[in-house]
Amino acid sequence: MKELEGADLDERLRAFLSEDVGRADVTTEATVPSGTRTRGELVAKSECVVSGLPVARRVFALLDPDLAWEQAAEAGVRVAPATPIAFLSGGARAILTAERVALNLLQRRCGIATATRRFVDAVEGTGCRILDTRKTAPGLRAFDRMAVADGGGSNHRAGLFDMVLIKDNHRRLAGGVGAAIREARRRAAATMRIEAEVESEEELREAVAAGADVVLIDNQSPQTVAAWSAIARQAPRPPVIEASGGITLARVRAYAEAGADCVSVGALTHSVEAADISLDLEVSAA
């Protein structure tokens, strides 16, 4: 997964700043004298996996192009509570105005990376990959996907454009999973991967026979995943087996050991618990 950068990143961040600042940061302008300089540190107050520091830096730099920044922790590294992860100095007004947007993005990214690492650690040694989903807040998907990658997970499709994923409504409207796969194979680009969600053994067999590249076993027990995986792998060209459906940290290893090649976890991004990160500032003479 490539980090959002350059003009695309700046456009997104300026929109976030505009939403927060509006006409002016009235509190900062009323209380902090113009020209005041500050220095400070971003501190992880909870244990977390680091993700998103370059994005946070860019938020501050958009309001203070002369910002001085020293990154103290690399992406993907787990840090203990009370660990400084970056040091910064610059114009006090700019840093205070940018603080909330920078922290919101950083805390969310670190929270996603931390949750992902827990799932990755839980399936260690099985060969199973942890995947994200499209269950992200609009406007934040690129940031969320990078956080999953920093946490050691893998990215599923980026959007509706880069993979065929046939789900329950597609199946019903197309006349069944087999018909949907065959029609997708006829209409989609030859290089396009086709995945089909199945909810019964009959649908599984139909999807495998129709040549699905990936079979998504949704809302089933580990025992069912094991049985259906064994059936699917008897095919001349066995599909990748993905499991999903409310799979928790406590249960994810059971699905990996049942034979799932990957497990997709929507909670990584739709129910993220933000990491606790603070910005501590003091007046600087220069």
Catalytic residue IDs? 100, 135, 167, 197, 218
Distance CA 170, CA 229 (A): 23
38: Cα separation from own chain's centroid: 33
In degrees, to the nearest 5, what angle opens at C-alpha 54 toward C-alphas 29 and 36? 25
DSSP state for residue 154 in the 8-state scheme: B
First to last CA, the chain: 39
Q: Hey, what's the torsion of the CAs at 204, 207, 213, 216, to 10 degrees? A: -40
Distance CA 78, CA 276 (A): 14
Distance CA 172, CA 186 (A): 18
Distance CA 104, CA 89 (A): 19
Distance CA 240, CA 219 (A): 17
DSSP state for residue 160 in the 8-state scheme: T
The counts of H helices and E strands in the chain are: 11, 12
Question: Of 277, 252, 226, 3, nearest to 116 (Cα)?
Answer: 252
Q: Are strands 68-71 and 83-91 parallel, antiparallel or unpaired?
A: antiparallel
